[in-house]
Structure 1
Amino acid sequence: MRFLSASLAAGLCLSLSAIAAVAAPVNFLFASSGDLPRLHDLLARPDIAGVQVVYNWKGLEQGKGQYDFSAIETDLAYTEKLNKKLFIQIQDRFFEPTAKNVPAYLMDDPVYKGGIVPQVDNPGQGKAPAMGWVAQQWNPAVQRRYQALLKALAARFDGKVYGVNLPETAIDIDQKHDKTGFSCERYFNAEVQNMSVTRSAFKKSLVVQYVNFWPCEWDNDHRYMSRLFTFAANNRIGLGGPDVVPYRKGQMKNAYPFFHRYKGKLPVVAMAIQEPTLTYTNPETHKPFTKDEVVNFATDYLGADLLFWTPEAPWLKQP
Structure 2
Amino acid sequence: MTKNIVYRILLAVVTLLFSSCSGNGNELHTSEIKFHPGHYVAVAPFFEISEIKYLDEAAVQGVNKRYFWRALEPEKGVYDFSSIEEDLEYLDRHDKQLVVFLMDMSYSGKSALPPYLSEYEMHSDWGEFSPVRWHPFFLERFVALGKALGERFDSHPGFEGIAIQESSLGITEEGYKKFGYTPEKYRDTLIDTLTILQVSLPNSHVFWYSNFLPDNDEYLYQVADAIEDSGVFMGGPDILPYRRFLSQVSYPMYEDYQNRLTLFCSAQGDSYKHHKNDIRVDEQEPVHEEGYLTMEEIFLFARDSLHVRYLFWDYEYEITEQGQWTYADAIQVIRKYPTFNNSMGPPGN
Please indicate, yes or no, whether the TM-score normalized by the shorter chain is above 0.5: yes
Q: 1:234 to 1:317 in 2, by over 3 A?
A: closer
TM superposition shift of 1:245: 1.1
CA RMSD between the two structures: 2.0
1:149 aligns with 2:153: no
The answer to whether the Cα contact below 8 Å between 1:33 and 1:71 also exists between their aligned partners in 2 is no
1:315 aligns with 2:329: yes
* Residue in 2 that maps onto 1:195: 194
* Residue in 1 that maps onto 2:270: 276
Q: Residue 292 of structure 1 aligns to a residue in which SS?
A: helix
Q: 1:257 to 1:79 in 2, by over 3 A?
A: same
The answer to whether the Cα contact below 8 Å between 1:175 and 1:182 also exists between their aligned partners in 2 is no
1:76 aligns with 2:72: no
Q: Residue 245 of structure 1 aligns to a residue in which SS?
A: coil
The answer to whether the Cα contact below 8 Å between 2:234 and 2:263 also exists between their aligned partners in 1 is yes
Q: 1:91 to 1:279 in 2, by over 3 A?
A: same
* Residue in 1 that maps onto 2:122: 117
* Residue in 1 that maps onto 2:282: none
User: How many angstroms apart in 1 are the aligned matches of 2:300 and 2:42?
Assistant: 19
- 1:1-319 mapped onto 2 (5 Å cutoff): 26-96=38-108, 98-107=109-118, 114-118=119-123, 120=124, 129-160=125-156, 161-177=159-175, 178-217=177-216, 220=217, 223-266=218-261, 268-282=262-276, 286-312=290-316, 313-316=327-330
The answer to whether the Cα contact below 8 Å between 1:56 and 1:92 also exists between their aligned partners in 2 is yes
User: How many angstroms apart in 2 are the aligned matches of 1:205 and 1:213?
Assistant: 25
Runs of 4+ in structure 1 displaced over 6 angstroms? Answer: none
User: How many angstroms apart in 1 are the aligned matches of 2:173 and 2:53?
Assistant: 45
User: How many angstroms apart in 2 are the aligned matches of 1:40 and 1:135?
Assistant: 30
More strand by share: 1
Q: Residue 68 of structure 1 aligns to a residue in which SS?
A: coil
The answer to whether the Cα contact below 8 Å between 1:62 and 1:68 also exists between their aligned partners in 2 is yes
TM superposition shift of 1:280: 1.4
The answer to whether the Cα contact below 8 Å between 1:225 and 1:254 also exists between their aligned partners in 2 is no
TM-score by length of 2: 0.74
Q: Residue 134 of structure 1 aligns to a residue in which SS?
A: strand
User: How many angstroms apart in 1 are the aligned matches of 2:289 and 2:195?
Assistant: 43
User: How many angstroms apart in 2 are the aligned matches of 1:77 and 1:198?
Assistant: 23
User: How many angstroms apart in 1 are the aligned matches of 2:242 and 2:126?
Assistant: 30
Q: Paired residues, what number?
A: 274
Q: 1:280 to 1:174 in 2, by over 3 A?
A: same
Q: Residue 101 of structure 2 aligns to a residue in which SS?
A: strand
Deviations 1:70-98 (CA, angstroms, capped at 9, x unpaired) = 010011001101111111111111112x3
Q: Residue 54 of structure 2 aligns to a residue in which SS?
A: helix
TM superposition shift of 1:183: 2.3
State the identity %: 27
The answer to whether the Cα contact below 8 Å between 1:134 and 1:171 also exists between their aligned partners in 2 is yes
Gaps of 5+ in 1: 1-24, 108-113, 121-128
The answer to whether the Cα contact below 8 Å between 2:242 and 2:275 also exists between their aligned partners in 1 is no
TM superposition shift of 1:181: 2.2
Q: 1:35 to 1:44 in 2, by over 3 A?
A: farther
Deviations 1:38-69 (CA, angstroms, capped at 9, x unpaired) = 53432122221110001111000011100000
The answer to whether the Cα contact below 8 Å between 1:92 and 1:167 also exists between their aligned partners in 2 is yes
User: How many angstroms apart in 2 are the aligned matches of 1:130 and 1:139?
Assistant: 24
Gaps of 5+ in 2: 1-36, 278-287, 317-326, 336-349
User: How many angstroms apart in 2 are the aligned matches of 1:103 and 1:257?
Assistant: 36
User: How many angstroms apart in 2 are the aligned matches of 1:147 and 1:130?
Assistant: 29
TM superposition shift of 1:314: 4.2
Deviations 1:13-42 (CA, angstroms, capped at 9, x unpaired) = xxxxxxxxxxxx711100123323453432
